[in-house]
Chains A and B, each alone.
Chain A
Amino acid sequence: MNAQLWAVVAVGTVVLAVACLELVRSRHARALAVGAPAAPASEPYIIYFTGENCAMCRTHQEPALAKLGSLRIDKVDAVAERELADRFHVYTLPTTVVMSPDGRALHVNYGYAPAPKLERQLAEAREVSALRVTATA
């Protein structure tokens, strides 16, 4: 049983270390990607990075995006559109970027982002753009 216990400790340590690294990596990538520019629009919109081989995109992310209703979603193949993917530091699929109407990245979600989270981020993006319109008026 001793070997089993040490194996559990070893795997636990590896899993914890990987989780910490992943957290640091996503925070770093997010810090670099927020504010990155793309095309402006009249309303906040989402850039959705996906790939032909991304199963989670089809099973989880796409149904979540469909729940958002009539919203502009720019679907991007992260492998084919490498330059755009690099601009938002896409290192995992799916990745969703909530864009403000003036074409700046406000929120970047690496991995699956559920519909309520995206709705919250879009509401924030609408508030930000409304404030900007009021300030300039």
Chain B
Amino acid sequence: MSSPQGVVDHSALKVNQTGIVATVLVAFLGSALYRPLLLLIPLLAIVLLVGTFAPQLALFKQFYFKVLKPSGIVKPRPVKDRPEPHNFAQGLGGVFLAVSSVLLLPVPVLGLALALLVAVLAFVNLAFGYCLGCQIYYQLGRRGLIKAS
């Protein structure tokens, strides 16, 4: 996703966000008819968390790099940027989905609501470019809680 010069392919991020929105929507709406589809939520949490710590295992991004980009279906959009805030946002999404997965059995409404919230935030990022996780990363950096710059 990034080179040592600090270039991030934003198409990879968009594909990742699309994957998150689509998976949560399928789980959310599909589970009304076929309950086992809820399993997609913990699976998505695992995909996001694994992808945060090992980008080479990030499912949606790898799908972009191995399939969509070489076939020309999605054009690359390299932007001078740092990958850390985006990884942080993805990890945050993964944590929320993990909590949602735990809540799905005892409090299904809360579990579904958390998963839907992650999808809404991913959609906002996809459609408007506003990344809440990146803003949280900036605020934490500003307060010296993480090394943001």
Flag whether A56 is at the interface (Cβ < 8 A). Answer: yes
Place the interface of chain A in its size category. 20 to 34
Question: 1/0 per residue B124-143: CB within 8 Å of A?
Answer: 00000111001101110110
Question: Once the chains are docked, how many angstroms separate the CA of A55 from the CA of B31?
Answer: 35
Question: 1/0 per residue A76-118: CB within 8 Å of B?
Answer: 0111101000000001110000000000000000011000000
Asked whether, in the complex, the Cβ of B130 is within 8 Å of the Cβ of A7, the reply is: no
Most buried by B among A6, A15, A54: A54
Asked whether, in the complex, the Cβ of B113 is within 8 Å of the Cβ of A7, the reply is: yes
Question: Once the chains are docked, how many angstroms separate the CA of A77 from the CA of B116?
Answer: 34
Report chain B residues within 8 Å CB of A71: none
For the residues of B in contact with A, the DSSP-based class is helix
Min CB–CB distance A67 → chain B (angstroms) = 17
Place the interface of chain B in its size category. 20 to 34
Report chain B residues within 8 Å CB of A4: 28-29, 31-32, 112
Question: Once the chains are docked, how many angstroms separate the CA of A25 from the CA of B120?
Answer: 21
Min CB–CB distance A31 → chain B (angstroms) = 21
Report chain A residues within 8 Å CB of B116: 7-8, 11
Asked whether, in the complex, the Cβ of A79 is within 8 Å of the Cβ of B28, the reply is: no
Report chain B residues within 8 Å CB of A8: 116
Asked whether, in the complex, the Cβ of B8 is within 8 Å of the Cβ of A55, the reply is: yes
